[in-house]
Amino acid sequence: MNILFLDWPCFGRTDFLNFFSERHDSVTLFSHADYELRKSDSFLAALYSVLENQQFDFCFSYNFFPLMATACYKCNIKYVSFVYDSPQVKLYSYTVTYPTNYIFLFDSSLVTQFQKEGVSTFYYMPLPVNADRIHSLLQKPYDSARLSADVSFVGSLYNENHNLYDSLQDISSYTKGYLDAIMQAQSHVYGYDFLEECLTPAITAELQNATHYQKNPDGVESLSFIFSDYYLCRKLTSMERINILTDVASHFPLKIFTPNKNYVIPNASNMGAADYLAETPYIFHDSKINLNITLRSIKSGIPLRCMEIMSCGGFLLTNFQSDFFKHFVAGEDFVYFESNDDMLQKIDYYLTHEKERTSIAESGYQKVIKNHSYETIFQQIFNIIG
């Protein structure tokens, strides 16, 4: 097939290009400085020039970009986008309605939401993993002392300087208390998200005044979505991760690999950021227990971190996410926790029951390499786009 690939610095770039290369597809790389903008005559002119002079079966990008959607629609070329970011406000651009779009989301609840609104260009698809690359990497020497752990967590604590919630300055004490209260309530519930529906018109108006947020001209995103998913969900995730990791470290040896290398969680070893390609596979493979604490804006989907933990043969202990049950069996392929106490009990159990732990890790690994490889996932995509 002939494919135009929007080239931008996403972490999945190498895996996608290798997959297309192994299939012997012809791939044309297209890059432009304005790829993230909603409006750019320069981007469109450059892309039109390529599309009008070459024949492509489809255009592809990792994440959805309105300018790509516009160009493909004008030239009547299929646009396939595989979205891994959550939240992604670009999905609320009217350009998602173009019939040339095939937008694949790893969060089934979000797909359902768009389909209920009558938008038929969205499809559910779990994220793929490149098990071959990971297997090859695991054959090479590595720093076992740094990357091995009894319990490990890889990810952001969302307490860096750009945390949007902490930047809110000009809001009333009532609103601050109200927001803190609904986040505290949400922290006790997985499987149903109510933050957005708790944001009343008066609260969202005050937040808009405080942030001066303006909707995108081509967007239909609600203010409640922006403030719940970009402000509250990230803050709540930060609170949850710090709280959970503090509890774990008070009972078990814990290593955290996080960009905020100076943040101290008592009794935990902060190893700083892990290199995504060169280090994380070893961490996932050599940790007895890999913790996942999902970003709250991911409503039901399986985070890429979880798929990669299993693709490395690692044991996964995660919070509840309903999409797991579409593909895996709890207690057989992975383990989930329902509360901090439940999590601590399961860590204690699986640290001391090695045979069960390794059996679960092996079962998860076998299902991932069979059902979630690039080959398998893209065969489903090709069937959908025809």
Structural domain spans, the chain: 2-125, 132-371
Task: Decide if 2-125 and 132-371 have a common fold.
Answer: yes
pLDDT (average), residues 18-25: 95
Share of the chain above pLDDT 70, in %: 99
Q: What is the pLDDT of residue 132?
A: 84
pLDDT (average), residues 232-253: 97
CA distance 190 to 202: 27
CA distance 381 to 386: 8
What is the model's pTM? 0.94
Q: What is the pLDDT of residue 86?
A: 92
Q: pLDDT averaged over the chain? A: 95
Taking a C-beta distance cutoff of 8 angstroms, is the pair 117, 95 a contact?
A: no
Reply yes or no on whether the pLDDT at 161 is more than 70.
Answer: no
pLDDT (average), residues 279-303: 96
Reply yes or no on whether the pLDDT at 137 is more than 90.
Answer: no
Tell me the pLDDT band of 135, cut-offs 50, 70 and 90: confident
Reply yes or no on whether the pLDDT at 162 is more than 80.
Answer: no
Q: What is the pLDDT of residue 214?
A: 87
Q: CATH says 2-125 is which class? A: alpha beta
- Which CATH number, 3.40.50.300, 3.30.565.10, 3.40.50.2000, 3.30.200.20, labels domain 132-371? 3.40.50.2000
Q: What is the pLDDT of residue 257?
A: 98
What SS3 string covers the chain?
CEEEEECCCCCCHHHHHHHHHHCCCEEEEECCCCCCCCCCHHHHHHHHHHHCCCCCCEEEEECCCHHHHHHHHHHCCCEEEEECCCCCHHHHEHHHHCCCEEEEECCHHHHHHHHHCCCCCEEECCCCECHHHHHHHCCCCCCHHHHCEEEEEECCCCCCCCCCHHHCCCCCHHHHHHHHHHHHHHCCCCCCCCHHHHCCHHHHHHHHHHHCCCCCCCECCCHHHHHHHHHHHHHHHHHHHHHHHHHHHCCCCEEEECCCCCCCCCCEEECCCCCCCCCHHHHHHHEEEEEECCCCCCCCCCCHHHHHHHHCCCCEEEECCHHHHHCCCECCCEEEECCHHHHHHHHHHHHHCHHHHHHHHHHHHHHHHHHCEHHHHHHHHHHHHC
